[in-house]
């Protein structure tokens, strides 16, 4: 038995379906006059269907983005295709209050919208249907997840940063040098480590106090960090000493980069908190990674070179005397 044939013909089943749907449904004709305004749309707009049917959609809701929505509807009518707009592209189409307005932070309901053609019995396109899905819960959950991830990343990043200078800290340097050595060996590329020390830093603290010394370190970290390549790693190693990891660079190319840093520091004028100014110089010791060297050994070689630079007159660069291994 065909159940449908036994149902009374006076029943408006399209209205029943519209009222049961948890998705908003708006049908407009080719002139954008409203033909169907579902129960979902009534509840969220506060306007009953009998007050809207026959009215122009854009006159009834002037807050709609007419240029965008008209193009979408016309495209559906002409091309007979369905288009979709995610809340991530366009947070909402209709300015409805979210169902849980007290729980979320959003001012309006987040919506996914689909627009597809509506045909008559002969197969001709007579209008378009706009389907609205409330995805506020999903959107709020994603926003919360993104915020949590951002906070976690920010916390992790801050744990790797020196509080005074903003450059990486000793902990991060110790982790990064191991990673860089492993990569250098795996891909057979060169790597240099340089240790940097502020000359006569005790005099700076004695002359300008610790606030002055802190400002010197901040300015030095900012200057060096701004001149390095994205592949380089600058860390505050401790006190007035900084450590620099230079990947993809060898003993032949590294001195040119380090000399540019030394000259820039020498020329820098530092404004101190008490209104005075000062200038500083730095000494640098560098070493290139050798076969079989552990991180600690590489740093020790760079430290020895730094010691030689300081005892050789300061404001200079010294490279480790360890011979460069040549692979054949």
Catalytic entry in 240, 241, 259, 304? 240
Using an 8 Å Cβ cutoff, are 115 and 128 in contact?
A: yes
Q: Is 8 exposed, middle or buried (0-12, 13-18, 19+ CB in 10 A)?
A: exposed
Active site (annotated) includes residue 240: yes
Could you tell me which residues are beta bridge partners of residue 198? 282
* CA separation, residue 221 to residues 162, 195, 233, 261, 287 (Å): 10, 13, 12, 11, 21
What does the alpha-carbon distance between residue 58 and residue 70 come to, in Å, rounded to a whole number? 9
Which is it for the CA torsion 117, 118, 121, 126, positive or negative?
negative
Active site amino acids: 240
């Amino acid at each position: 038995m065909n159940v449908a044939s036994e149902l009374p013909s006076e029943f408006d089943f399209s209205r029943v379906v519209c009222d049961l749907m948890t998705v908003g449904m708006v049908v407009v004709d080719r002139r954008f006059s409203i033909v169907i305004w579902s129960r979902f749309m009534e509840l969220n707009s506060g306007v009953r269907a009998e007050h809207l049917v026959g009215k122009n959609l854009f006159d009834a809701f002037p807050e709609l983005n007419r240029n965008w929505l008209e193009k979408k509807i016309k495209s559906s009518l002409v091309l007979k295709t369905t288009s979709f707009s995610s809340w991530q592209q366009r947070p909402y189409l209709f300015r409805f209050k979210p169902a849980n307005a007290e729980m979320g932070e959003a001012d309006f309901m987040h919506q996914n919208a689909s627009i597809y053609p509506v045909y008559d019995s002969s197969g001709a396109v007579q209008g378009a249907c706009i389907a609205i899905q409330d995805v506020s819960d999903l959107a709020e959950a994603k926003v919360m997840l993104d915020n949590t991830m951002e906070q976690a990343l920010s916390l992790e990043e801050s744990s790797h940063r020196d509080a005074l200078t903003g450059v990486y800290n000793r902990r991060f340097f110790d982790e990064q040098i191991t990673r860089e050595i492993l990569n250098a060996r795996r891909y057979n590329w060169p790597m240099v480590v340089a240790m940097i020390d502020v000359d006569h830093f005790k005099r700076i603290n004695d002359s300008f106090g610790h606030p002055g010394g802190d400002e010197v370190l901040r300015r030095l970290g900012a200057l060096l960090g701004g001149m390095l390549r994205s592949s380089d790693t600058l860390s505050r190693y401790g006190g007035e000493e900084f450590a620099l990891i230079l990947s993809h660079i060898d003993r032949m190319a590294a001195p040119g980069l380090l000399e540019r840093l030394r000259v820039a520091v020498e020329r820098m004028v530092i404004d101190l908190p008490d209104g005075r100014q000062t200038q500083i110089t730095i000494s640098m010791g560098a070493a290139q990674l050798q076969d079989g060297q552990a991180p600690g050994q590489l740093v020790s070689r760079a430290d020895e070179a730094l010691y030689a630079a300081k005892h050789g007159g300061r404001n200079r660069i010294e490279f480790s005397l360890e011979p460069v291994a040549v692979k054949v």
